Amino acid sequence: MKSLKFPVTDDHIHIDPVNGRGIEAAKDFFRAGGTHMFLVSKPSWSLSVHPDTGPDYARVFDETLRVAGLVSETGVVVFPVLGVHPAEITRLTERMTLDKAVDVMKGGLDCAARYIREGKAVALKSGRPHYEVAPEILAASNQVLMHALRLAAECGCALQIHAETGPCVDIIRMAENAHIPVERVVKHYGSPETPLHPSLIAKHEAIEQLVRERRRFTMESDYMDENSRPGAVIGPKSVPRYTNQLLSQGKMTEEDCFFIHAETVEKVYGVTIHLA
């Protein structure tokens, strides 16, 4: 059951009323004890958007904000995260040149940054393909990622990145060159060894140790909310359920909950976490 004694924040989740369970999934999160979520925009193609220019991504972002409004009615506090999924480069280069694809993706990030400046979203998302690609695709993806880092620095916001498994050490130098604090660069689906801020899948084997060490990390479900892949990556109840499990086992205290789900979230994203 939901507890108002401590916050529980999902750092990366999707809610999709068109292709998934939608608001019912958000209600599951709330009933399990979830209080706050970072609602991340989905890839353009999953919403039947096929951008030819950067501003075309506005349709994706407007849908994300519409869903955020619906989710907020369930009692969950929603923080929208907008951006361009790094796998877009593979889709775009099927119908345009690589240079054009880079321009479109950068333009999409420019569009997302405008929403952040207007106070409609709290963070950007970008990254590079987590699968093997040709060297020129990787180089182009790093150009897009660098653009996202610079925009995040200009907007004074965090950047969630989707990238290959591993520490992604080279992104430290990129962040330094973009003048964004590395602790505000969030490695979505991260691992403890990353020098970036790790957002760990709930039930990650390292969480108990990180709690004992008082290490900063956040927790996520990366729930995709697609009927074709029910429960992927893990379900919407996962972050609150695992948090409550650790509490009941004495492996986490309520003070730890505030440190992970509130204090750390506030430090990374510059938002305020409070309980109703």
Tell whether 172 is covered by a domain. yes
Task: State the pLDDT at residue 28.
Answer: 98
DSSP the chain: ---SSS--EEEEE---TTTS-THHHHHHHHHTT--EEEEEPPPGGGGT---SSGGGGHHHHHHHHHHHHHHHTTT-EEEEEEE--TTHHHHHTTTS-HHHHHHHHHHHHHHHHHHHHTTS-SEEEEE--SS---HHHHHHHHHHHHHHHHHHHHHT-EEEEE--SS--THHHHHHHHHT--GGGEEETT--TT-SSEEEEETT-TTHHHHHHHT---EEE------TTSTT-SS-TTHHHHHHHHHHHTTSS-HHHHHIIIIIHHHHHH-------
Tell whether 93 is covered by a domain. yes
* Distance set, CA 149 to CA 125, 203, 238 (Å): 9, 29, 30
Tell whether 103 is covered by a domain. yes
Q: Could you say which residues of the chain have pLDDT below 50?
A: 1-3
Task: Copy the structure tokens of residue 55.
Answer: 């501003």
Residue 92: burial class (beta carbons within 10 Å; 0-12, 13-18, 19+): buried
**φ, ψ at 154 (rounded to 5°):** -65, -40
Task: State the pLDDT at residue 2.
Answer: 46
- The residues, ordered by sequence, that sit 6+ positions from 104 with a Cβ below 8 Å of its Cβ are 51, 52, 53, 54, 56, 92, 96
Tell me how many domains the chain contains: 1
Q: In the sheet where 185-187 sits, what is the strand order?
A: 9-13, 36-40, 77-83, 123-127, 158-162, 185-187, 197-201, 218-220
The domain of 216 spans 12-234+255-269
Task: State the pLDDT at residue 144.
Answer: 98
Tell whether 47 is covered by a domain. yes
Tell whether 222 is covered by a domain. yes
Tell whether 249 is covered by a domain. no
At position 108, the amino acid (one-letter code) is: G
Tell whether 2 is covered by a domain. no
pTM for this prediction? 0.97
Instruction: Give the span between the Cα atoms of 154 and 221, in whole angstroms.
Output: 29
What CATH number does the domain containing 76 carry?
A: 3.20.20.140
Task: State the pLDDT at residue 5.
Answer: 87
**φ, ψ at 201 (rounded to 5°):** -60, 130
Tell whether 110 is covered by a domain. yes
